[in-house]
Chain A
Amino acid sequence: FLRQQSAAPNLRKLVYGTVPGDEEEDGEDEEELGGLFRVSRPEKSKRQRADALDCSRYAPDSAHDWDQEEMLDSIRNCFVTGKWEGDTDA
């Protein structure tokens, strides 16, 4: 999911669906087969989500292995013990 978010060119579009002045894609959502049957697959995944567990917890990204030294290094400067920027003093 994290990757999905960083890959999205426009976060606003990901959240609100459409951006003002960018609505031409709307019409393509309802794909019809032979003019009679609608594709029902997207509907199904939506239904599953609609009945999913109502919970605010955010599952961690399994791609991050916190046993790896590089992962530990990636957050080192979030702590007071890390490096400080030039203009801020401890």
Chain B
Amino acid sequence: NNNMANQGLTYDGCNFFRQRLVLSTLSGKRVKIRNIRSKDDNPGLRDFEASFIRLMDKITNGTRIEINQTGTVLFYQPGLLYGGTVEHECNPQRSIGYYLEALLMLAPFMKTPLRATLKGVTNDQKDPSVDTLKATAIPLMKKFGLDGEGLELKVVKRGMPPGGGGEVLFSCPVRKTIRPVQLTDPGKIKRIRGTAYSVRVSPQMANRIVDSARSILNKFIPDIYIYTDHMKGANSGKSPGFGLTLVAETTSGTFLSAELVSNPQGQGDPVLPEDLGRNCAKLLLEEVYRGGCVDSTNQSLLLLYMTLGQQDVSKALLGPLSPYTIEFLRHIRDFFQIMFKMETQKQEEDSQKGGDKVLMTCVGAGFTNISKTLK
């Protein structure tokens, strides 16, 4: 394996930045990223990317990072995935979800269990929120045998953009190997749960969101419960805002999610909570239409765990692959030489079960966590 680690990979541009560094760290392959916004008026890495690199440095040991003066070229030589207790101030240009998505991918493969305190923006309009990841990614991790008391994701303080001020606690156990999965039956949706949150605005906002979201979803299913979460004082961050996260749970334990967040203070038109609730409910219906055993946000996490599983066949039925996932599959091929078998499953016209699905099959790389301490 040492031989493989010697060859590096080279990419262009700042897109897919996190997948490249994450896969580099897991595979041990060096990576060089060139032409980072080289044609931009303001070339080079942004603050949030620098913040992400610092986080990667904190959870590893002996990682070598070189950046040229303009920040347009990054060289990354991964060290040992150490884990342990870390605290990180996440740059508020991106929400904590941006950083957390990478930690979810890395955490099971660390030397010591990760216990991360992340500070910054908990919910924004770009990235999956902490609430969504808690409701969808955590149950997904359990399917791969990652469970027990060690697995936790908790919103301690909420922080909306642009000010942030939120705090999240994430802890995850380590595993020597992760088990293969057979996720071929998405099941039928038996209930819908959600969280309507509001900070530094009237607590009534959350109730208005709940009523409008229910008015649409009630056409399908009666079992709907949307929690209202109004954090106050020191737990409400630095900026006002509100939003909604919806999760549909099926009989086979699949979780499909959708979310919407109000415009940040001083940016764009104010959003009515009624509109937000209705539009978020429609986004959930869209996600149900796509379907599959994970929602579009968690496709890459699932595929990564399948890739790194024991040398056995894993199968998963997904909705249409997102552009991000397609790029992730290409990167998995680059770093791990693993290609998935993909079979499209057409839905019959009158089945009323949404759009076409795709069955993804792969044999795991038999990745073993050599750095995990033996007890």
Q: Which residues on A are within 8 Å of B, measured CB to CB?
A: 1-2, 5-6, 11-12, 14-16, 47, 49-58, 60-61, 64, 66, 71-84
Contacts and interface: CB of A to CB of B under 8 A. Distances in A.
* Shortest beta-carbon contacts, A-B, top 9: A50-B13, A58-B322, A58-B296, A66-B282, A77-B352, A60-B286, A11-B342, A76-B352, A79-B189
Interface residues of B, number: 57
B28 interface: no
- With most chain B CB atoms within 10 A of its CB, the pick from A11, A64, A71, A82 is A11
Given A51-B35, A58-B297, A73-B352, 15 more contacts: A11-B342, A11-B358, A12-B339, A15-B329, A15-B340, A15-B342, A16-B339, A47-B12, A49-B15, A57-B297, A58-B296, A74-B352, A78-B189, A79-B188, A81-B222
A55 B322 CA distance: 11
A73 B324 CA distance: 29
A21 B196 CA distance: 52
| B36, B37, B320, B341 — most chain A CB neighbours (10 Å) | B320
A17 to B, nearest CB: 8
A72 B342 contact: no
Contacts of B128: 56-57
Contacts of A83: 352
A51 B37 CA distance: 6
Nearest to B251: A80
A16 to B, nearest CB: 6
A50 B220 CA distance: 41
Contacts of B222: 81
A56 B127 contact: yes
Interface string B130-160: 0000000000000000000000000000000
A52 B286 CA distance: 24
A56 B294 CA distance: 13
A78 B188 contact: yes
9 contacts: A5-B320, A51-B36, A55-B98, A57-B127, A58-B322, A71-B285, A75-B354, A79-B189, A79-B190
Contacts of A12: 339, 341-342
B64 interface: no
B220 A53 contact: no
